Amino acid sequence: MKITKSIIEGHGLKLEEFKNIQKLLKRDPNLLELGIFSAMWNEHCSYKSSRIHLKKLPTEGKQVIQGPGENAGVIDIGGNDAIVFKIESHNHPSFIEPYQGAATGVGGILRDVFTMGARPIALLNSIHFGSPYHSKTKSLLNGVVSGIGGYGNCIGIPTVAGETKFNETYNENILVNAMAVGHAKKNKIFYSKAKGLNKSVVYVGSKTGRDGIHGASMASAEFDDNSEEKKPTVQVGDPFTEKLLLEACLELMKDDSIIAIQDMGAAGLTSSSVEMASKGSLGINLELDKVPCREENMTPYEMMLSESQERMLIILEDGKEEQAKKIFEKWDLDFVVIGKTTDTNNLTMKFHNKVIGEIPIESLASKAPIYDRPWVRKKLPQKKINIKELKKIKLEDALNKILSSPNHSNKSWITSQYDQMVMCDTVERSGSDAAIIRIHNKDKAIAVTVDSSANYCKSHPVSGGKQIVCESWRNLISVGATPLAITNCLNFGNPENKEIMGEFAECIEGIKEACEFLDYPVVSGNVSFYNGTNKKNIFPTPVIGGVGLIKRLVKSLNHKFKKENSIIFLIGNTNGHLEQSCFLKENYNIHDGKPPEINLLNEKNNGEIVLNLIHKNFVLSAHDVSNGGLLVALSEMSMSSNIGVKVEKPKNLINLFEYFFGEDQSRYILEIDEKNTNKVEEILKNADIYYEIIGSTQTKRFEITDEMKCNVNDLFKINNQWYNNY
C-alpha cells in the first residue's frame, strides 16, 4: 500500500515527521509501521511538546524511591512500607463516551499502580464539566460519575476523595482525571525495564479486540464537530476481569519470576513492548499469530494498536513459564508467550512466519520528536476592582449565593455513588480537606487529596501553578499529615498555539518553585494537550494529587467542629484579595483581576506550625482557607458538625466583604480548646506567626457580630438545594 499524504495526516503525523521516519528507517514505512510511529510519536506517548519543560520539575527527595519514568511514582513511608501513586487523564474518551471513558480511565490508572507491585487502596478523581445549563452537561456528568463508580465499586477499591467543578470553558471538552494509590513493600517493587536475552515475552489478561484503536492518537488532537465519529477509539472496560488480573499479578509477584512488567495502556501492545525494550536497550521479537484475539480476522495493525483493556506484558525469568501459566489460568485469564527479547535493538513483528515490520526501538523512543515550541509570557493583570463601587448586598445573601452555587453546593449525591468504605481502611472520606486511609493492620496512615484552580492559572499561570501546589500542601497539613510528594495531571489546550504553550511553560515554573521550596517533589504524572473544540481551548487546568504521611492515627483530624465554646484561631494574614474570587464570580459575575499573591515562606512557616500544634494535641479541628475565603470555610466546618460559631468583625480597617470572602493564601482555621488558648498563643508568638482570635463555637447558631444570624441547619439547606434540584 502506497503511503499518501491523507494517510499520513489521518495518522496524526506532520509531513515533516513522516520525512524523519523515512530517514530513520532509510526507507518508506509500511502501513503497520506507520501506525506504530503514529502511536509512539503522538503527544500522549512521546510528550514531544512537554518534555523539555517537565525536566525542570523537582523529582528527587529522601522519601522518593521512584520518580517519573515508570508506570507510577513510589515513596517511602517508613519501615518496609511504600506508597505507589499516579494520576492520569481520560478526557477525550470521556467526552465521546462518558461511561466507558471514565470507567477505563479508572481501570488504566489502577493497572499503573498494581503493575509496580502495589495493592491499590484508594481512588480519587478530578472532573470538570461545562456550564451545568449547557445541553450536554447533565448527560456527561451522569455518565462520568456512573463510570467512575461502576468500575471502582465492582473491582472493590474505595473512591475516597475528589472534586467536581463547572465552568463554561469545558462545554465542549470535559476533563476526567483519575488517581490511584497503592501500598507495596519496599523490597517488592516491580519495574518495566527489560533485561536478558531470549527471555519470554508473555501476554496476560483479556483477549485483544478492536476497541480503542488509535485511542492515543485521538487523545493528541483537538475535537471538531465530528467528534462523535471517534466512538470506536474509546476502550471498553471490564472491572471483574481487572480484579482477576490484579490478583493474578500480585500472586505471581510473591516469588522472583518477573524480570519486567508493563500494562498495555495507551497504544496497547505497541507502547508496552517498546517501553520495556527501550529501557533495557534490547530488542523484542513478537509473533502476532499468538496474540489472543476475541474477534475474527484481526490484522497485525489492529493487534498492535488496539487499546483493549485489562492486559499486561510480562518478561519472565527462564523456566518460570509453566508456574506462571498455572497462576493465570487459575484466575481464568489468557497466558501466552508471544515473543522473546533479542540483541537487535529492533521491534520485529512476525505474522504467519513472515517478518511484516521491523523498526529500531530508539526511533520510537529516544529519537521521537522533541519540540521546543514558541511561547509567550503572560503579564500579571493590572485591572483593579473597587468593591465600594459595586451594588451593595448583605453579608448573609452573599454567602448564600456562594453556598448554593453549582461549584460550592453539597456534592454528596455524587460521592454517595462511590463505595468509600470497602476494604475497611478508610478513616476519613470525601468532604474533608484530605481523605485518610489506614495502612492495613497498622497505626499509621496516609492522607490523599486532589486540587485544581483553572481561574487562577488562566489569569496568571506562574501564580496559579504555585497556588495549586500550596493548596494541596495545606489540605494535607489540615488533617495532620506531613506532605511527602505529588503527582500531576496537566490539562491544557493546543500546544501549537504560543499563548497556550506559554500557559503550560509558566504553570510548570510555578509548580517547580513551590515544590522546591516546600520539599514536595513530583514523582509521577501526565500531560493532556489539545483539550479544545473548533479552536476554543480550555482554561489551563493543572491538577495536583498530593500524598502525606500520618505516623500515628491518633494525630489525625478533620474540619468538623468538635464542641461548643472552643476558641477559633485564624492563622495567616488577611489582606482581602477579592480579584478572581468566588465572591465576585457568584455575586457579580466578575471574573477579572489577578490571583492572590503566593508567599512561599509564609506557606511553609504557617503549615509547619499548624502541623506542630496538631501533633502536640492542641488542635480539635482544622480547615484551610481557600476558595470562598474565611466565611465559606467557617460555614463548611459548621455544616459538617452542626455546631455554630460566633465571630467578631475585624478590628482593623478592612472592608467586611474583603475580610470574609478574600482568598488570601497561607491561611488555616483552627479550633482550640479554651484551656489551651494561652499555650497556643505563646507557641505562635515565639514562632513569629501572624494569627487572630476571631470568635468561638456555639450551639447551632451561625453569627457574625452585627451582620448576620442564622441557624446552621439553614446553611445546610441552602448548600443542598442546587444539587437536589438539578
Which residue in 44, 53, 408, 577 is the catalytic one? 44
CB contact at 8 A, 412 and 636: no
Residue 433: name the closest of 519, 549, 546 by CA. Answer: 546
For residue 344, give the 3-state DSSP assignment. coil
CB contact at 8 A, 331 and 287: no
Find the angle CA(252)-CA(257)-CA(263) to the nearest 5 degrees: 60
Q: Residues, the chain, total?
A: 726
Q: Which amino acid is at 253?
A: M
- Strands 482-491 and 522-528, sheet pairing: parallel
CB contact at 8 A, 310 and 237: yes
The three three-digit cell numbers of residue 600, written as one number = 512561599
Give DSSP secondary structure letters for 708-722.
EEEEHHHHHHHHHHH
Give the distance, in angstroms, between the CA of residue 436 and the centroid of all CA atoms in the same chain: 17
Find the angle CA(116)-CA(119)-CA(125) to the nearest 5 degrees: 90
Alpha-carbon gap, residue 580 to 563, rounded angstroms: 34
Alpha-carbon gap, residue 360 to 345, rounded angstroms: 6
HSE-up of residue 520 (Cα within 13 Å, Cβ side)? 34
Alpha-carbon gap, residue 475 to 668, rounded angstroms: 10
Alpha-carbon gap, residue 276 to 195, rounded angstroms: 9
Alpha-carbon gap, residue 624 to 475, rounded angstroms: 6
DSSP state of 724: H
CB contact at 8 A, 550 and 428: no
Alpha-carbon gap, residue 140 to 91, rounded angstroms: 12
Other C-beta atoms lying within 10 Å of the C-beta of residue 565: 11
DSSP tally for the chain: helices H, then strands E: 25, 28
List Cα–Cα distances, 112 to 31, 263, 465, in angstroms.
30, 7, 25
In terms of C-beta density within 10 A (0-12 exposed, 13-18 middle, 19 or more buried), how is residue 313 classed?
Answer: buried
Alpha-carbon gap, residue 314 to 273, rounded angstroms: 9
List Cα–Cα distances, 267 to 101, 194, 228, 233, 590, in angstroms.
15, 18, 21, 11, 43
User: H-helix or E-strand containing 498?
Assistant: helix 498-518
Q: Name 182's bridge partners.
A: 84, 120
List Cα–Cα distances, 547 to 149, 244, 489, 507, in angstroms.
22, 27, 15, 20
Alpha-carbon gap, residue 633 to 59, rounded angstroms: 32
Is 90 catalytic? The answer is yes
Contacts of 710 (CB under 8 A, 6+ apart): 396, 701, 702
DSSP H helices, 179-231, are 215-218
The three three-digit cell numbers of residue 111, written as one number = 493497572
CB contact at 8 A, 36 and 46: no
In terms of C-beta density within 10 A (0-12 exposed, 13-18 middle, 19 or more buried), how is residue 580 classed?
Answer: buried
Q: Which amino acid is at 63?
A: Q
Alpha-carbon gap, residue 166 to 204, rounded angstroms: 40
Alpha-carbon gap, residue 78 to 59, rounded angstroms: 19
Which residue in 11, 53, 90, 214 is the catalytic one? 90
For cell 507557641, what's the residue? 683
Residues recognised as catalytic: 44, 90
